[in-house]
Chain A
Amino acid sequence: KQEVTQIPAALSVPEGENLVLNCSFTDSAIYNLQWFRQDPGKGLTSLLLIQSSQREQTSGRLNASLDKSSGRSTLYIAASQPGDSATYLCAVAGDGGTSYGKLTFGQGTILTVHP
């Protein structure tokens, strides 16, 4: 059974810092990995999607990497801003059999960026 772990569970940083969120998964047979952002009381917003054949994806100040063989992904946020405060979720999609297409989520990292 796939298990996804996110570290740290919570992170508090001053504005302007660069930061890294970590995600690890136990089964390397994944189709893709997706990072989401969730604001309090809101739904999930997709940030970055990395296919299993890719190593990284970038969008603005966000960069996500994937090391499929070691079961790890990182989300790098450059020059953090108070508006980045949210919960960040990592999810992997299974690539075969009964797990195909289904997402397994980590528990999330709660990020707070202080002005």
Chain B
Amino acid sequence: NAGVTQTPKFRVLKTGQSMTLLCAQDMNHEYMYWYRQDPGMGLRLIHYSVGEGTTAKGEVPDGYNVSRLKKQNFLLGLESAAPSQTSVYFCASSYSGTWNGYTFGSGTRLTVV
């Protein structure tokens, strides 16, 4: 099915470990986004990309890095995981101009112990 696919769906990390979350979309969307969802905080934007080869910081970028080497993929990296990064991570994509709204992935539940 067309849409946004996130891998992995679940992950447990130890403090200090690194990992990469992968987001892939097959809708030829220009814009891609990474959000995190925490109880009582809602969804907050981490990083986003307005096209292949571009990235920009969102509201809560510290501790994360991103890359958009291919238009269809947007990677979120945690270099040294901390318990404060325990969260549910959502990737989303949209056409440039946001006219058609956003499509979200099903999320990655990350626990850092």
Chain A residues close to B by CB (< 8 Å): 31-32, 34, 36, 41-46, 49, 51, 89, 91, 93, 101-103, 105-108
Contact = CB atoms under 8 A, between A and B. Distances in A.
Nearest to A101: B98
A73 to B, nearest CB: 14
A51 B99 contact: yes
A44 B91 CA distance: 10
A103 B45 contact: yes
A31 B104 contact: no
Nearest to B56: A98
A46 B103 CA distance: 7
A105 B97 CA distance: 18
Nearest to A6: B42
Interface in B58-113: 58, 90, 92, 94, 96-107, 109
Contacts of A43: 90, 104-107
A43 B90 CA distance: 8
B90 A44 contact: yes
From A44, A45, A93, A108, name the one whose CB has the most chain B CB atoms within 10 angstroms. Answer: A44
Interface of B: 31, 33, 35, 40-45, 48, 50, 58, 90, 92, 94, 96-107, 109
A72 B105 CA distance: 27
Given A101-B50, A102-B58, A103-B92, 17 more contacts: A32-B99, A36-B104, A42-B107, A43-B90, A43-B107, A51-B99, A91-B102, A93-B98, A101-B48, A101-B94, A101-B98, A102-B48, A103-B35, A103-B45, A103-B102, A105-B42, A105-B43
B104 A101 contact: no
Contact of A102 (B33, B97, B104): B33
A103 B98 CA distance: 10
Contact of A107 (B40, B94, B99): B40
Contact of A106 (B42, B50, B109): B42
A4 to B, nearest CB: 8
Nearest to A33: B101
Contact of B106 (A42, A105, A108): A42
